[in-house]
Amino acid sequence: MKRALKMMLAVSMAFALLFGAANIAPAWAASKTVKTTKITLSQTKTIKLKVGEKVTLKATVKPKNSTQKVKWSTSDKKVATVSAKGVVKAIGKGTATITAKSGSKKASVKVKVSAGKAPGGKTLVAYFSCTGTTRGVAKKLAKVTGADLYEIVPAEPYTDEDLDYGDDSTRATWEQNHPETRPKLGGKALRLKGYTTLYLGYPIWWGMAPRIMCTFVERYSFTGITVIPFCTSGSSGIGDSGDELARLAGTGTWLKGARHSGSISEKELRAWVEGLR
């Protein structure tokens, strides 16, 4: 009995030395917390939804390596719910505040829900294309969805030299390197009245939407419209380009969107469109 007591004492002293006196923390306690210093949402202006509609919000935290997870909440579940991934669903008439919290930092946006689903409004495919790839996809998409087609035309057309991305000083690359640039729109002004769905197409330039797309989304109001971005590219994905356009637009219900190959078939496009519902 005495021996057993001595043994227990020795073991507990060893533990005390290892984790207490010697101040060595077990491995699981050693991971370091990186605190969030800022959190922003992909939409800042009041989001208008009809019962049953959904919108995906994106929360961006700084620093990027913050270890504090983003937690979503709603002020009124009877008006709008929000999933762990930021998907907001309109439940009933009223106004709710959706909040994303990371550590002690918060960002919120209001959601105003009105009754009833939008009556089958019209669909529009609006696109910008310099070398025809996005135009080709846009035309097939318009055919598949029975949509109208609108081309986003620059006031000053892009020449082959402007598009030469092998040279940093050429126009397109210069514009992408200057985020504040807003190339002027040409062509006929767009009338969005009556449209409830907008497919918005563009090529990827240096991983982003061309700056003229910023001019476009800042010019028009997308309230009451579901906007679905799509792009074509050499190989890059859509990345954050749609989220960035949604942020600049500040209105509309923006879906994630997708990158399509220039050779996508009508059948493949139909499957994509059906998957969005």
What residue ranges bind ligand FMN (CB under 6 A)?
129-135, 163, 165, 172-173, 203-207, 232-236, 262
Residue with tokens 């939409």: 43
Q: For residues 41-51, b (16+ Cβ closer than 10 Å) or e, as one string?
A: bbbeeebbbbb
Q: Smallest distance from the beta carbon of 235 to ligand FMN, in angstroms?
A: 4
Q: Measured from the CB atom, is 41 or 149 closer to ligand FMN? A: 149
In order of 163, 165, 178, 198, the CA distances from 171 in angstroms are: 7, 9, 11, 28
Strands (E), 164-238: 195-203, 226-232
Q: Measured from the CB atom, is 160 or 274 closer to ligand FMN? A: 160
Q: Measured from the CB atom, is 250 or 262 closer to ligand FMN? A: 262
Q: Smallest distance from the beta carbon of 276 to ligand FMN, in angstroms?
A: 21
Q: Is 71 exposed, middle or buried (0-12, 13-18, 19+ CB in 10 A)?
A: middle
Q: Measured from the CB atom, is 72 or 202 closer to ligand FMN? A: 202
Q: Smallest distance from the beta carbon of 150 to ligand FMN, in angstroms?
A: 15
For the chain, the first-to-last Cα distance in angstroms comes to 73
Q: Measured from the CB atom, is 130 or 217 closer to ligand FMN? A: 130
Q: Smallest distance from the beta carbon of 127 to ligand FMN, in angstroms?
A: 8
Q: Smallest distance from the beta carbon of 175 to ligand FMN, in angstroms?
A: 8
Q: Measured from the CB atom, is 50 or 171 closer to ligand FMN? A: 171
Q: Are 147 and 141 in contact (CB under 8 A)?
A: yes
Strands (E), the chain: 38-41, 47-50, 54-56, 59-62, 71-74, 80-82, 87-90, 94-102, 105-114, 122-127, 148-151, 195-203, 226-232, 253-254, 258-259
Q: Is 261 helix (H, G, I), strand (E, B) or coil?
A: coil
Q: Smallest distance from the beta carbon of 232 to ligand FMN, in angstroms?
A: 4
